[in-house]
Amino acid sequence: MGASALILAAGEGTRMRSRLPKVMHEILGVPMVRYVVEAARAAGCDPVVVVTGHGAEVVEAALPDVATVRQEVQLGTGHAVQCAQQAFEGFDGSLLVLSGDSPLISADTLRALVEEREAAGASAAVLTAVPDDPRGYGRIVRDDAGRLVQIVEERDAPEEIRAVREVNTGFYCFDAQTLFAHLHALDNANAQGEFYLTDVVDVFRREGLAVVTATARDAREAAGVNNRVQLAEAAKVLQRRINERHMLAGVTMNDPDLVWIGPSVTLGRDVTLAPMTFLLGETSVADGCVIGPDARVVDSVVGPDAVIDSSIVVESCVCEGASVGPRAYLRPGTVVRPNAKVGTSVEVKNSIIGEGSKVPHLSYIGDAEIGVGVNVGAGTITCNYDGRSKHKTVVEDGAFIGSDTMLVAPVRIGAGAITGAGSAITRDVPADALAVERAEQRIVEGWARRRREQDEEE
């Protein structure tokens, strides 16, 4: 299929009541416009070009892999296409024109729209839908033979046309050369004073050029997002669509309405996702993992049979058989090696927890390298920041770190060494040594009793 795509994403979206451009509002961690871009790519479109306008810098920064053109002044959809004409200079084939605020569109529907136009040899194909509530959409007007006569925007439509339920979705397929040759014929004699792309239908009809329609099987695919209520409704549709795909591929969710998975996440078989689990970004989860409840994993790799319980994992790697949580926080750069444990209320940042090692509870490990088979006692912290720079802590294989130890970096604990509970370790500890760094305990007999008596006298 020799098709390209132009995505209109220049509007402000005032009903969103937001500083963000409308198309930048996220669903499952992904801006709306990205869903349309990926649907066009999956349908085989090349190139894909996005028209930006309001908040152009923000939109373009989120689409570094996509060609963009600017609509400096927003004068309607027809004007937006005019702004992009040069980007398709010399292109001869089907051009999809899509709405950047309709994230539910599928690649299958886009392919069908292109095929409908090309099979009919038409100059244009319009994607229509029959939603339960057609308010807000342009209406499809047909003649007695069922042929498309006109698309009338709702604000310009009389009552009898507003009663029509078939609507224009804002998705079109044109013969590119024919479209660009006729854009000059558009005018802005309408309630908005804008150049409507829908008026191209009238232009084509006057010249005897064929325009056909294709109807979306699921009207929800064409749903535009104009406010935050509609944003939530679109998110629910995508959530269910993604979750169903994973469940049919072998993932268990005992309450899929309480599991949120981003579109780029990959999951193996026999993965179990408990309620209130969020998997976002470029996350990969291997076979047999158990994640949740109440877990968030972002841009991370989780190996086979790992467990993440009620924890946050960001830009980290949890290897095979490792255990994280509950209430742990793995910050970027963390690697938890096979069969290691990061336990309750532990925070780890930019560190390696070696194979079979344990950081069971109430610890902070930052900028550290923990070897194989190390036990880190409760309350241990790495003092990795001196107020100016970060420093590294190394704990070699088999070491035992006593509870409430402060490891003041840079410092190295040798293999098999032990630190005494409550120590502040400021110097390297040789292998197999014991390091105790704390003041000798002093006992003053009767001191507490004398203090109480003094208080009573006062």
Residues 13 and 157 in one domain: yes
- Going along 323-433, which residue ranges are E strands? 323-324, 329-330, 335-336, 341-344, 347-349, 352-353, 358-361, 364-366, 368-370, 375-376, 381-383, 393-395, 400-401, 406-408, 411-413, 418-419, 424-425
Neighbours of 273 (CB within 10 A): 29
pLDDT band at 155 (very low <50, low <70, confident <90, very high): confident
- Mean pLDDT throughout 117-137? 93
Q: Please check the confidence at residue 160 and state whether its pLDDT lies above 80.
A: yes
Do residues 382 and 365 touch, judged by C-beta distance below 8 A? yes
Residues 200 and 276 in one domain: no
pLDDT band at 1 (very low <50, low <70, confident <90, very high): low
Residue 431 belongs to some domain of the structure: yes
Q: Please check the confidence at residue 412 and state whether its pLDDT lies above 80.
A: yes
Residues 215 and 250 in one domain: no
pLDDT band at 392 (very low <50, low <70, confident <90, very high): very high
Residue 445 belongs to some domain of the structure: no
Residues 258 and 176 in one domain: no
Residue 443 belongs to some domain of the structure: no
Residues 252 and 214 in one domain: no
pLDDT at 135: 87
Do residues 145 and 238 touch, judged by C-beta distance below 8 A? no
Tokens representing residue 313 in the block: 């994992």
Overall number of domains in the chain: 2
Residues 184 and 249 in one domain: no
> Helices in 51-139 by DSSP H: which ranges?
56-61, 77-83, 107-120
- With 0-12 / 13-18 / 19 or more C-beta atoms within 10 angstroms meaning exposed / middle / buried, residue 253 is buried
Residue 157 belongs to some domain of the structure: yes
Do residues 345 and 361 touch, judged by C-beta distance below 8 A? yes
The one catalytic residue in 25, 54, 246, 361 is 361
CATH code, 347 = 2.160.10.10
Residues 31 and 155 in one domain: yes
Residue 452 belongs to some domain of the structure: no
Q: What proportions of the chain, in percent to the nearest 5, are helix, strand and coil?
A: 25, 30, 45
The residue out of 222, 254, 279 marking a domain boundary is 222
Residue 448 belongs to some domain of the structure: no
**What is the percent of the chain with per-residue pLDDT over 70, rounded to a whole number?**
100
Q: Is 361 a catalytic residue?
A: yes
Residues 306 and 410 in one domain: yes
pLDDT band at 38 (very low <50, low <70, confident <90, very high): very high
- Mean pLDDT throughout 74-88? 91
Residue 441 belongs to some domain of the structure: no
**If you count DSSP H runs as helices and E runs as strands, how many of each does the chain have, helices first?**
9, 41
Mean pLDDT, rounded, of the chain? 94
- CA–CA dist 69, 57 (Å, integer): 11
67 membership: H or E segment, kind and range: strand 67-70
Q: Is the pTM of this model over 0.75?
A: yes
pLDDT at 34: 97
Residue 440 belongs to some domain of the structure: no
Q: Please check the confidence at residue 242 and state whether its pLDDT lies above 70.
A: yes
Q: Please check the confidence at residue 340 and state whether its pLDDT lies above 70.
A: yes
**What is the percent of the chain with per-residue pLDDT over 90, rounded to a whole number?**
82
Structural domain harbouring 20: 3-222
Helix (H, G, I), strand (E, B) or coil at 183: helix
- Mean pLDDT throughout 228-257? 97
Q: Please check the confidence at residue 39 and state whether its pLDDT lies above 60.
A: yes
Q: Please check the confidence at residue 191 and state whether its pLDDT lies above 80.
A: no
Residues 178 and 75 in one domain: yes
Among 25-39, 149-163, 369-383, the range scoring the smallest mean pLDDT is 149-163
Q: Phi and psi for 305 in degrees, rounded to 5?
A: 60, 20
